[in-house]
Structure 1
Amino acid sequence: MDPEEFRRAGHAVVDWIADYWATLGQRPVTSQDPPGALAAALPAGPTADGEPVEAVLADLDALVAPRLTHWQHPGFFGYFPANTSGPSVLGDLVSAGLGVQGMLWATGPACTELETVLLDWLAGLLDLPERFRSTGRGGGVIQDSASSATLVATLGALHRAGGGRWREAGIDRRYRAYTSTQGHSSIEKAARIAGLGSDGVRMVEVDPETLAMRPEALREAIRADLAAGDVPAIVVATIGTTSTTAVDPLPEIGEICAEYGVWLHVDAAYAGAAAVCPELRWSHAGLEYADSYCFDPHKWLLTGFDCDAFWVADRGELIEALTVLPEYLRNAATESGAVIDYRDWQVPLGRRFRALKLWFVLRWYGVEGLRAHVRAGVALAGRFADRVRADDRFVLAGPHPFSLVCFRLAAGDEASAELLSRVNATGRVFLTHTRVGGRYTLRLVVGSPLTTQSHVDEAWALVSEAAGTVLSDAG
Structure 2
Amino acid sequence: MGAHMDPEEFRRNGYAVIDWIADYWTHLAERPVTPAEPPGAVAALLPAGPPEHGEPFDRILADLDPVVAPGLTHWQHPAFFGYFPANTSGPSVLGDLVSAGLGVQGMLWASAPACTEVETVMMDWLAELIDLPQRFRSSGPGGGVIQDSASSATLVATLAALHRASGGRWRGNGVDRRYRVYTSTQAHSSVEKAARIAGLGDDGVRAIEVDPKTLALRPELLRAAIEADRAAGDVPALVVATIGTTSTTAVDPLPAIGELCRAYGLWLHVDAAYAGAAAVCPELRWSHAGVEYADSYCFDPHKWLLTGFDCDAFWVADRAELTGALSVLPEFLRNAATESGAVLDYRDWQVPLGRRFRALKLWFVLRWYGAEGLRAHIRAGVDLAGRFADLVRADERFEVVAPHPFSLVCFRLRADAAPAADIPAADARNAELLARVNATGRVHLTHTRVNGRHTLRLAVGAPQTTYREVDLAWRLVERTATTLLGGAAEGNRATGAPAG
2:281 is the alignment partner of 1:250:
no
Hey, what does 1:124 align to over in structure 2?
A: 128
CA distance in 1, matches of 2:335, 2:310: 29
Displacement of 1:465: 0.7
2:19 is the alignment partner of 1:19:
no
**2:437 aligned residue (411, 417, 423):** 423
CA distance in 2, matches of 1:453, 1:318: 45
Displacement of 1:69: 0.4
Matched residue type, 1:276: V
Matched residue type, 1:464: E
Which deviations, in whole Å up to 9, do the C-alpha atoms of 1:401-456 show, x marking residues without a partner? 00000000013212111110111011000000000011110000000001111111
The secondary structure found in structure 2 opposite 1:178 is strand
- Paired residues of 1:87 and 1:357 also in contact (CA < 8 A): yes
Hey, what does 1:295 align to over in structure 2?
A: 299
- Paired residues of 1:380 and 1:403 also in contact (CA < 8 A): yes
Displacement of 1:166: 1.0
- Paired residues of 1:297 and 1:309 also in contact (CA < 8 A): yes
**2:84 aligned residue (75, 80, 83):** 80
Which deviations, in whole Å up to 9, do the C-alpha atoms of 1:348-372 show, x marking residues without a partner? 0000000000000000000000000
CA distance in 2, matches of 1:378, 1:57: 38
2:454 is the alignment partner of 1:454:
no
- Paired residues of 2:33 and 2:80 also in contact (CA < 8 A): yes
CA distance in 1, matches of 2:467, 2:367: 27
CA distance in 1, matches of 2:448, 2:166: 37
Hey, what does 2:421 align to over in structure 1?
A: none
2:215 is the alignment partner of 1:225:
no
- Paired residues of 2:172 and 2:199 also in contact (CA < 8 A): no
CA distance in 1, matches of 2:80, 2:321: 41
CA distance in 2, matches of 1:38, 1:286: 48
- Paired residues of 2:183 and 2:240 also in contact (CA < 8 A): yes
2:118 is the alignment partner of 1:114:
yes
Hey, what does 2:357 align to over in structure 1?
A: 353
Displacement of 1:323: 0.3
Describe how 1:51-450 pairs up with structure 2 within 5 A: 51-167=55-171, 171-410=175-414, 411=417, 412-450=426-464
Q: TM-score, normalised by structure 1?
A: 0.99
The secondary structure found in structure 2 opposite 1:472 is coil
Displacement of 1:164: 1.0
**1:29 aligned residue (20, 28, 33):** 33
- Paired residues of 1:213 and 1:249 also in contact (CA < 8 A): yes
CA distance in 2, matches of 1:272, 1:341: 26
CA distance in 2, matches of 1:121, 1:417: 43
Hey, what does 2:423 align to over in structure 1?
A: none
- Paired residues of 2:173 and 2:200 also in contact (CA < 8 A): no
The secondary structure found in structure 2 opposite 1:399 is coil
Matched residue type, 2:304: W
CA distance in 1, matches of 2:254, 2:224: 17
Report which stretch shifted further, 46-55 or 9-18. Answer: 46-55
- Paired residues of 1:179 and 1:202 also in contact (CA < 8 A): yes
- Paired residues of 1:323 and 1:344 also in contact (CA < 8 A): yes
- Paired residues of 2:302 and 2:309 also in contact (CA < 8 A): yes
CA distance in 2, matches of 1:468, 1:417: 15
Displacement of 1:53: 1.8
CA distance in 2, matches of 1:108, 1:246: 40
**1:3 aligned residue (1, 7, 25):** 7
Report which stretch shifted further, 45-54 or 321-330. Answer: 45-54
The secondary structure found in structure 2 opposite 1:449 is coil
Which deviations, in whole Å up to 9, do the C-alpha atoms of 1:335-394 show, x marking residues without a partner? 000000000000000000000000000000000000000000000000000000111010
CA distance in 1, matches of 2:58, 2:23: 14
Hey, what does 1:468 align to over in structure 2?
A: 482
- Paired residues of 1:250 and 1:285 also in contact (CA < 8 A): yes
CA distance in 2, matches of 1:209, 1:141: 35
Displacement of 1:48: 1.7
The secondary structure found in structure 2 opposite 1:166 is coil
The secondary structure found in structure 2 opposite 1:114 is helix
Matched residue type, 2:160: G
Displacement of 1:51: 1.3
The secondary structure found in structure 2 opposite 1:167 is coil
The secondary structure found in structure 1 opposite 2:486 is helix
Matched residue type, 1:109: P
The secondary structure found in structure 2 opposite 1:233 is strand
The secondary structure found in structure 1 opposite 2:164 is helix
Q: What are the ranges of 5 or more consecutive residues in structure 1 without an aligned counterpart?
A: none
Displacement of 1:54: 1.4
CA distance in 1, matches of 2:57, 2:271: 42
- Paired residues of 1:162 and 1:169 also in contact (CA < 8 A): no
Displacement of 1:473: 7.6
CA distance in 2, matches of 1:100, 1:32: 39
The secondary structure found in structure 2 opposite 1:383 is helix
CA distance in 1, matches of 2:308, 2:271: 19
CA distance in 2, matches of 1:466, 1:177: 43
- When the two chains are superposed, the root-mean-square deviation of aligned CA atoms in Å is 1.1
Displacement of 1:172: 3.3
- Paired residues of 1:397 and 1:436 also in contact (CA < 8 A): yes
Q: TM-score, normalised by structure 2?
A: 0.94
Report which stretch shifted further, 459-468 or 286-295. Answer: 459-468
